[in-house]
Structure 1
Amino acid sequence: MIPYGRQHIDDSDIKAVVDVLQSDFLTQGPVVPRFEAAVASYCQARFAVAVNSATSALHLACLALGLGPGDRLWTSAISFVASANCGRYCGADVDFVDVDPATGNLSLAALSDKLQQAAKHGTLPKILVAVHLAGQSLNMQKLAAICSQYNVKIIEDASHAIGAKDGEQAVGHCSYSDVCVFSFHPVKPITSGEGGMALTNSPALYQQMQQLRSHGITREADKMPFGSDGDWYYAMTELGFNFRMTDLSAALGLSQLNKLPDFMARRQALAKIYDDALPSPWQPLYIAQPSHCSYHLYVIQQPGLALAEKARLFKALREQGIGVNLHYVPIPNQPYYQNLGQQPAAYPGAQRYYRESLTLPLFVDMSGDQQQQVLEALARL
């Protein structure tokens, strides 16, 4: 089976992890801050907080921005469920914005219209989680201009998009958002095994996320409400979590980060081969600037495709060893969110994207023969 995605691990990655195994620290050692500093520098953001998953990073970002019961969080109707669940973890209500079916990314026109209506009815969101699907960045400057009219905070869910660009800047610079979140799951552009990171330019958000990831505990005397009993003392000042990243994961992530430019070039080259060779009637997901996309996923679309026909094609491709996938079932379609009152038909762009889209295998070590096998299977069907 040719997988839809797969990590690339070489000897330098293995050595980086072994070096940590042979050191004095496996968990809270010096490598995590080095990884944080390296990612922040790469993206030109001021601060970074490494955690055990992108889901944890989204949760921390929501808490640091003060999301709670009675508040609202909006996100794209097409994403992994974590983009919405982070709001529910905080007790907030969650709603969705429809997508442009040609890109799968949140529609700025739909967002603007929905915000106008929400302002009239007093139902504005506190936070928008803006998703960069498949590694293509939204136009963050335009999105921020829309949200700023209504004082909506922005979290970028850039789980697919480390290495991508927003205009001429690296995704993660946070010039137009409060927090940007990356994922380092094995199928993402770089991996730390499991892991995530939240970037921000705000010292207050940075300090809050840093403390919340480690049980809400501080060892800084000036932050202890009742003072310190001595140099051994620590104070839990709020209810936090154990969301820390280990030095083992950070070592792998730091090693992988050094290879990111090469990984991006390889993914873009593979995507170009697909673009030029896709058999009719398939067409690639619309990517405005291919050289700016991380191509975490390679999504194809067939106009007018019905779900029943896609199910047949999906099964036939899997039977031929092609590990196709689907990213994603619209979140409003999920039973949990339908039980909260969501109506899938309210998001026609997302439903069209869902019917017509399919994810093809694409990963750094994919061979020419494997890619040709995928294309030939598509052509036969």
Structure 2
Amino acid sequence: MSEAKEPILLSPPDLGPDEPKMVMEAIASNWIAPVGPDLDAFEEAVGAATGAAHVCAVSSGTAAIHLGLHLLGVKPGDCVLCSSLTFVASANPIRYCGAEPIFVDVDPETWCMSLSALERTLKRLSDEGRTPRACIAVSLYGQAANLPAICTLCTEYGVKVMDEAAEALGATHGDRMAGTFGDLGVYSFNGNKIVTTSGGGVLVSNNRELIEQARFMATQAREDSAIGAYEHRTRGYNYRMSNLLAALGRGQIQHLKEKVEIRRMIFDRYTNALAGIPEIEWMPEATYGRSTRWLSCCLVESQTIRDRAIMHFTDERIDARPVWKPMHLQPLFASCSYERHSLEEDVSASLFARGLCLPSGSSLTREQQDRVIEAFKEVFA
């Protein structure tokens, strides 16, 4: 009976022997507050892994986006462009700032922000006499968005760019890492990510002043004082990552490359084993870069088949999910404008209707992969 089977999770944490050792060392040192040597070392390790010049570790990817928008000058009444096909945490911080999200469709060849839709949006707003304060360009499911082209377009219209790579640590565009383009970059270290700190995120930039300001704002904007007084001249946030979680991250990030390779191998195994089913179409890899395959994603022929597949996976205790429900289809953002990839094609809506995310964790055993493959075959039997 399927009820007796062990559940297969979508993307659980994958811990090795280094993480408990480093966490216990941090506990023994009594550095468990949001400061300490492990926090400094983790920021250095993120910089070394990504090529980012300056790094500020915070409590979540959402906090990093919110703080980043603040640093880019987003204020109430502003508008901010954002990919529609993404997790809600990409868009919620726009509202935290009192700004208006304007959503942009994705390209079917990358599942990331559509250049044609972005260009039309920028031109339309320019014709209306409006300039977006920022653009949140999301790298989705481990695939880097076409950030060089996005940055070129946004620069032409005077728009700051946030390289939102919360799901794409380790992905590349050419010889550069996702997250290192634009004015600021964001990574998430949530429990389901390739590298986790349980909860956490970072802001990265080649602009030292921005990251120094991020650290200041993330620690309640406390001013320096010769006597240690708590003086505040501006509003800040309690967003700094704890030293304890940073110790966990140090153990994790040194294995980033091998974790990426395992996820890519899992994706390849799925595609090879299911190659005989023409109704399955796999998420493409952008020609300009290398995906981490954070999640193994595919399309089926219709929403009916997608729903049937998810129900069958659920019966088999396999955690498969729909592709993100686009922001422009969310009741929360019903009043926001949206630009399609083309007049005839709403790519984000189509990917949601037909898309599936399969278990992809780097701790997934071969036997568990076999269960996923066999369950998917049964959907089409």
TM-score (norm 2): 0.92
Q: Secondary structure at the match of 1:134?
A: coil
1:184 to 165, 183, 189: 189
What's 1:283 paired with?
A: 281
Offset, 1:203: 2.1
Contact 2:195 2:253 in 1 (8 A): yes
Is the Cα contact below 8 Å between 1:181 and 1:197 reproduced in 2?
A: yes
**Is residue 169–residue 179 contact of structure 2 (8 Å, CA) maintained in 1?**
yes
Question: Secondary structure, in 3 states, of the residue corresponding to 1:135?
Answer: coil
Match of 2:310 in 1: 314
Cα deviation for residue 166 of structure 1 reads 1.6
Please list, as runs of the form range in 1=range in 2, the aligned pairs for 1:116-131 lying within 5 A after superposition: 116-131=123-138
Give the whole-Å Cα distance in 1 for the aligned partners of 2:179 and 2:337.
Answer: 31
- Partner of residue 37, structure 2: 30
1:362 deviates by: 0.6
Alpha-carbon separation, structure 2, partners of 1:336 and 1:117:
24
Say whether 1:145 aligns with 2:152: yes
Distance 2:324 2:339 in 1: 14
Structure 1 residues 49-68: aligned runs within 5 Å = 49-68=56-75
**Structure-2 change in CA distance of 1:364 and 1:206 (3 Å):** same
- Work out whether residues 268 and 290 of structure 1, in 8 Å CA contact, stay in contact via their aligned partners in 2: no
Q: 1:258 aligns with which of 254, 258, 261?
A: 254
Distance in structure 1 (CA, Å) of the matches to 2:193 and 2:44:
20
Q: Where does 1:155-234 land on structure 2 (aligned, <5 Å)? A: 155-174=162-181, 177-219=182-224, 228=225, 230-234=226-230
Q: Distance in 1 between matches of 2:101 and 2:36?
A: 37
Q: Is the 8 A contact 1:299 1:358 kept in 2?
A: yes
Deviations 1:177-205 (A, max 9, x none): 01110000111010001000000111221
Q: 1:168 to 1:283 in 2, by over 3 A?
A: same
Task: Give 2:187's aligned amino acid.
Answer: F
In 2, the alpha carbon distance for the partners of 1:353 and 1:143 equals: 21
Q: Which runs of 5+ in 1 are unaligned?
A: 220-227
Return the offset for 1:150: 0.2
Moved more, 100-109 or 369-378: 100-109
2:23 to 10, 17, 33: 17
Q: Secondary structure at the match of 2:321?
A: coil
Which residue matches 2:3? none
SS in 2 for 1:114: helix
Measure how far apart 1:103 and its partner are: 3.1
- The whole-number CA distance in structure 2 between the counterparts of 1:254 and 1:241 is 24
Distance 1:102 1:315 in 2: 28
Which of these residues, 3, 25, 41, is aligned with residue 9 of structure 2? Answer: 3
Counterparts of 2:172 and 2:336 in 1: how far apart (Å)? 36
Q: Paired residue for 1:326, among 316, 322, 339?
A: 322
| Residues 109-152 of structure 1: CA deviation (Å, up to 9, x unaligned) | 11112111111112331100000001110121111111111011
What's the offset of the Cα at 1:102?
4.3
For the Cα contact (< 8 Å) 1:44–1:172, is it kept in 2?
no
Are the structure 2 counterparts of residues 105 and 31 from structure 1 closer, same or farther at C-alpha, using a change threshold of 3 Å?
same
Give the deviation of 1:283 after TM superposition.
Answer: 1.5
2:348 to 350, 354, 372: 350
Task: Give the Cα–Cα distance (whole angstroms) in 2 for the partners of residues 373 and 168 of structure 1.
Answer: 36
Distance, in Å, in 2 between the alignment partners of 1:104 and 1:45 is 25
The alpha carbon displacement at 1:161 in A equals 0.9
State which of 332, 335, 343 in structure 2 corresponds to 1:336: 332
Cα distance 1:358–1:102, how it changes in 2: closer, same or farther (>3 A)?
A: farther
Do the aligned partners of 1:50 and 1:244 also contact (CA within 8 Å) in 2? yes
Residue 53 of structure 1: how far off its partner (Å): 0.1
Following superposition, the deviation at residue 344 of structure 1 comes to 9.8
2:264: which partner in 1? 268
Per-residue deviation at 1:251?
0.4
CA distance in 1, matches of 2:142, 2:288: 10
Distance in 2 of aligned mates of 1:147 and 1:342? 18
Q: Deviations over 1:294-322 (max 9, x none)?
A: 1111111024x13x442222112210122
1:224 is matched with none
Q: Distance in 2 between matches of 1:337 and 1:171?
A: 27
Farther off after superposition, 233-242 or 349-358 = 233-242
Looking at structure 2, the residues matched to 6 and 290 of structure 1 have their Cα atoms a distance apart, in angstroms, of: 29
Moved more, 131-140 or 95-104: 95-104
Deviates more, 1:284-293 or 1:208-217: 284-293
Cα offsets for 1:271-312 (capped at 9, x unmatched): 111122223311110112597211111111024x13x44222
Q: Deviations over 1:232-251 (max 9, x none)?
A: 23431210110111111000
Contact 1:301 1:357 in 2 (8 A): yes
Structure 2, unmatched stretches of 5+, are: 1-6
| Amino acid of the structure 2 residue aligned with 1:120 | D
1:155 is aligned with what amino acid? M
- Answer whether contact 2:300 2:306 (CA < 8 A) is retained: no
Q: 1:46 to 1:331 in 2, by over 3 A?
A: same
Counterpart of 1:89 in structure 2 is: 96
The residue number in structure 2 matching 1:225 is none
Residues 37-82 of structure 1 show CA distances to partners (whole Å, capped at 9, x for unaligned) of: 1111222222101000000000000001110012111111100111
CA RMSD of aligned residues (A): 1.8
Query: Residue 28 of structure 2 aligns to which amino acid in structure 1?
Result: Q
The residue type paired with residue 377 of structure 1 is: A
Structure 1 segments of 4+ aligned residues over 6 angstroms from their partners = 343-347
